[in-house]
């Protein structure tokens, strides 16, 4: 007979350690992870930008069914205006720093937010609680 541990929810935060908002969001997310029992994967997006597949998924999650909305939400305000996944991917390929951070993703439940302000971390945690 084998013993298998229950699967834990893995949350990814695309993080910029030089950004005050990102540091505060990470702190809040780590605190919530203890209480609500999920794991946090911290990705320093300047070193490891999201893949094309991840960008496509995040745009779908952010837009809640609207590719145009999600594409506009994933990029900083000073980025070129985009309305498709392909356009957003091209913008990020040319300049990965255009990715909004902190960007928090629940891959299992297909949900993402940009935690600006960091208080939106609580909205994200509430979403996780509702899905269990």
Q: What is the pLDDT of residues 23-75, one digit of tens each?
A: 999 999 999 999 988 999 999 988 899 999 999 999 999 999 899 999 999 99
Tokens coding 68? 């145009």
> Is position 85 within any domain?
yes
3-state secondary structure of 108: coil
The predicted pLDDT at position 124 comes to 92
pTM above 0.95, yes or no: no
> Is position 22 within any domain?
yes
Q: Do 14 and 79 fall within a single domain?
A: no
> Is position 3 within any domain?
no
3-state secondary structure of 118: coil
Q: Do 55 and 95 fall within a single domain?
A: yes
Q: What are phi and psi of 91, to 5 degrees?
A: -65, -40
**Contacts of residue 72, Cβ cutoff 8 Å, sequence gap at least 6:** 81, 82, 83
With left for phi above 0 and alpha for psi between -120 and 50, is residue 64 left, alpha or beta? left
Q: Do 59 and 23 fall within a single domain?
A: no
Q: Do 85 and 117 fall within a single domain?
A: no
- Is the distance from CB of 128 to CB of 12 less than 8 angstroms? no
Q: Do 62 and 85 fall within a single domain?
A: yes
| Containing structural domain, residue 115 | 9-45+101-132
- Is the distance from CB of 28 to CB of 124 less than 8 angstroms? no
Q: Look at the chain and report how many structural domains it folds into.
A: 2
CATH of the domain at 30: 3.40.30
Mean pLDDT value across the chain: 91
Q: Do 66 and 131 fall within a single domain?
A: no
Residue with tokens 């997006």: 45
- Is the distance from CB of 121 to CB of 29 less than 8 angstroms? yes
Would you give the DSSP letter of residue 102?
S
């Amino acid at each position: 007979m084998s013993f298998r541990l229950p699967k834990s929810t893995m949350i990814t935060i695309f993080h910029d350690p030089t950004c005050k908002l990102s540091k505060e969001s990470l702190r809040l997310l780590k605190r919530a992870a203890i209480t609500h029992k999920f794991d946090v994967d911290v990705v320093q997006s300047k070193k490891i930008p999201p893949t094309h597949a991840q960008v496509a998924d995040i745009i779908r999650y952010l837009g809640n069914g609207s590719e145009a909305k999600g594409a506009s939400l994933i990029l900083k305000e000073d980025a070129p205006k985009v309305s498709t996944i392909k356009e957003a991917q091209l913008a990020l390929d040319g300049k990965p720093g255009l990715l909004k951070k902190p960007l928090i993703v629940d891959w299992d439940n297909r949900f993402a937010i940009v935690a600006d302000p960091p208080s939106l971390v609580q909205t994200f945690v509430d979403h996780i609680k509702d899905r269990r």
